[in-house]
Amino acid sequence: MKDKIFWIVAPAVFAYGVSAMAAGEGADPDSQWSRSHASYSSNKFSSLGAINISNVAQLAPAWEWDEGGGEPSASDTVQVNPIIVDGSVFTTTLSGFLVSINALDGKENWRTRLPPPVGRRGLTYAEVSLKGKGVFKAVFTPTAQGIYAIDSKSGAILTQLGKNGVYGDNLSLVAPVITKDSVLTATMFSTIESFDLATGKKKWSTSLVKDKAYSYKASVWSGISYDAKRNAMYISTGDPGGMLVGIDRPGDNLYANSLVAIDTGSGKIKWHVQIVSHDLWDLDVVGPPILSTLKPGRKKTDVVIAVTKSGDTLVVNRDTGKFIFDNSYRAYPRSDLKGETAAKHQLHVDWPQSFSSLVFTPDMVTDISAEDHDYVMFKLRNARYGPFLPPSLAYSVALFGLHGGAEWPGAAYDPGKEILVVPSNSVPWILRLEYHEKSRFLDLDKIKNNRLYQGKCAACHGKFRQGYHGDNHRNDVYYPPLVGLTVRKADPLPGLQDFRANHQYVEKETQTVSENDLAPLAEYFRTLDSMQKENLKVAGFWQMVLDTNGLPGSKPPYGNLTAISLKTGKIAWQVPFGEYGAPVKGKKIKGQQNFGGAIITGSGVIFATGTVDNKIRAFNEENGEELWSYTMLAAGSAPPSTFMVNGEQYVVVNCTGGRYTDFSANKKKLIAFKLKQKQ
């Protein structure tokens, strides 16, 4: 193994006569996986069929690769979909390396340290020809400081390309696009950028923030797709930021929560589809857009396909951005928060059929046991329900959606059968708005009744009444802040009486706060709020709703795998994805949270991973039947890839665990599978 540190590099070579053979154009598509998500169409589809429905049960590990080093952070995972070119597998590490691994035996060829995060959600291979300099086989790798061109054989930075081997200097997470003369990338600063392939000089930069007078974003963190014939790239964007509060970003926040088409020659936006206007719920378009051709009747239509956290599928004309299926706009409630401008109307995707629900209602609360049902209903005592209900200081909002519907890997698509396969989640969340203090400048010791508060309330609600909520990835512990009680309501006593009663319910013991304490505490809150009235701000956050077992507070399944026919828009089948090995209170539970992704092969086999039970599974594309599974040390943390070398088909997957509740610790592993050899 060669450990290469290539951050200090030689001057660039400026040359004319540059051209690139992009990922998938020169490689044998039946053997390689030369761009994350398979190709510039991002369909996660391979025509390989050596592994098929009749023999997939014979899959077994061929080799494993371990990143090595110390224990990784429990808050991070490897989310890159590996690429495979010329007998080498390329992936990244939690510690900031791009790595090349021998595809036959799993032995490491080289690793190169780059500015982390490295290749967070995508890598692209391309062959670049410089006149008089030869052909360079490069892995174009997004980093915190631009796109690096790395020699695929040696791991060296290709200083002959770009500016010392680098394009731009901004943080990017997704696989770039390499054209015959340009490098195209999306940054986490809401810009799309084009660089000259030979010199690295910036050609153009397009901001996705339409109104720069306001503070919002439209980050690209799922992926990019590219149509060379149309000279167009297609991107999906995330929410505008603001943690459920949009006071500082009035208007629709155009290009956030959107599907956007961009002319790669000029950088001009050709069209856009915004799925959520003035987002207050973190409802991104997820996964790289998928490019394909639909054949409704006999007329072929080139389309862009995208999935959402809301559980919807967008299918639009690639030239115009017009919907192929019927959709409508509906009116939704306005916000009661001063200064908030919730949109009057939101897009409603009438068709294709939704693969999951955004709306969570009381009849969906867990029925594992009566105790769990009552426990969750108590947590939802102040909640309201409904689509696009704006968060409020007066109530909380309960919904599905923050971890899906679909998640960042998006969907896989079989272009021949016109079948879209989507892993999804159905986990309930509570969205809350609260008052916080912008700064803390009061001398509390001088405030009457402070000793009473500190002695009986501060242990849970904080010295400064700031409250406490658990890590929303791992638990839903919640002690509400007591700041601004008298700003919400002049008389805080009824609220304090509710708090006292609620404590008795949760703790199952007598609360130390007595009835006689309530009046002096109310006086204390009234005094502080009057002194801090101009120092208050509204902040928002969200938490999963969990039952007494630490499971999602809704009825299972908590995760599904769904196949949708885009010939008709109907769901072809839907099956629970993942299962809990041991019964919970006597009940077998199928369907888990999942964050790995799926691919489809030409033989009609789907490979999917990312569930809590650490398995990679194979499904029959025809009916969703599970054909094979293998339990890894940790959950798959990115979509699998498939390739062929020496006449054998492999499936490879990063299995570095999950960040969220129920997931095992990260293991820094890459595993390749192939069919067992006949004895």
Task: Give the pLDDT of residue 299.
Answer: 82
- The model's confidence at residue 16, banded by pLDDT at 50, 70 and 90, is very low
**If you average pLDDT over residues 538-551, what whole number do you get?**
91
* Amino acid (1-letter code) at residue 217: K
- The model's confidence at residue 5, banded by pLDDT at 50, 70 and 90, is very low
Task: Give the pLDDT of residue 3.
Answer: 46
Q: Is the pLDDT of residue 356 over 90?
A: yes
- The model's confidence at residue 4, banded by pLDDT at 50, 70 and 90, is very low
d(CA 616, CA 22): 30
- The model's confidence at residue 485, banded by pLDDT at 50, 70 and 90, is confident
Tell me the C-alpha to C-alpha distance, in Å, between residue 524 and each of 181, 341, 482.
68, 34, 11
Tell me the C-alpha to C-alpha distance, in Å, between residue 157 and each of 144, 154, 172, 180.
16, 9, 18, 20
Task: Give the pLDDT of residue 80.
Answer: 96
3 state DSSP class of 265: coil
Q: Is the pLDDT of residue 23 over 70?
A: no
Task: Give the pLDDT of residue 478.
Answer: 87
d(CA 609, CA 614): 8
Q: Is the pLDDT of residue 512 over 80?
A: no
Tell me the C-alpha to C-alpha distance, in Å, between residue 478 and each of 139, 177, 430, 471, 506.
46, 44, 11, 10, 11
pLDDT in tens, 258-288: 999 999 999 999 999 999 999 999 999 999 9
pLDDT in tens, 101-132: 999 999 999 999 999 999 999 999 999 998 87
**Secondary structure letter of residue 326 according to DSSP:** -
Q: Is the pLDDT of residue 227 over 90?
A: yes
Task: Give the pLDDT of residue 615.
Answer: 97
Q: Judge whether 136 and 119 are in contact, CB under 8 Å.
A: no
**If you average pLDDT over residues 509-538, what whole number do you get?**
84
Look up residue 362 and give its two tokens.
């009381």
Instruction: Tell me which of 64-73, 344-353, 607-616 is least confident.
Output: 64-73
Q: What is the pTM of this model?
A: 0.92
**If you average pLDDT over residues 387-401, what whole number do you get?**
94
Look up residue 145 and give its two tokens.
């400081």
d(CA 349, CA 361): 20
Q: Judge whether 637 and 655 are in contact, CB under 8 Å.
A: yes
β pairing state of 594-601 and 605-611:
antiparallel
Tell me the C-alpha to C-alpha distance, in Å, between residue 572 and each of 44, 291, 575, 607.
19, 21, 10, 17
pLDDT in tens, 48-57: 999 999 999 9
Q: Is the pLDDT of residue 521 over 70?
A: yes
Instruction: Tell me which of 4-18, 529-543, 600-614 is least confident.
Output: 4-18
- The model's confidence at residue 71, banded by pLDDT at 50, 70 and 90, is low
pLDDT in tens, 423-474: 999 999 999 999 998 888 888 989 999 999 999 889 888 999 998 888 766 6
Q: Is the pLDDT of residue 7 over 60?
A: no
Question: Residue 193 CA to chain centroid, in angstroms?
Answer: 22
Q: Which domains does the chain have, with CATH numbers?
A: 3-428+550-675 (2.140.10.10), 432-544 (1.10.760)
**If you average pLDDT over residues 199-226, what whole number do you get?**
91
Q: Is the pLDDT of residue 12 over 50?
A: no
**If you average pLDDT over residues 233-257, what whole number do you get?**
93
Q: Is the pLDDT of residue 510 over 60?
A: no
Task: Give the pLDDT of residue 298.
Answer: 63
β pairing state of 383-385 and 396-399:
parallel
Task: Give the pLDDT of residue 156.
Answer: 98
d(CA 223, CA 219): 10
Q: Is the pLDDT of residue 25 over 60?
A: no
Average pLDDT of the chain, as a whole number: 90
pLDDT in tens, 153-211: 999 999 999 999 999 999 999 999 999 999 999 999 999 999 999 999 999 999 999 87
Task: Give the pLDDT of residue 1.
Answer: 44
Tell me the C-alpha to C-alpha distance, in Å, between residue 675 and each of 1, 53, 61, 103.
28, 12, 9, 15
Task: Give the pLDDT of residue 500.
Answer: 65
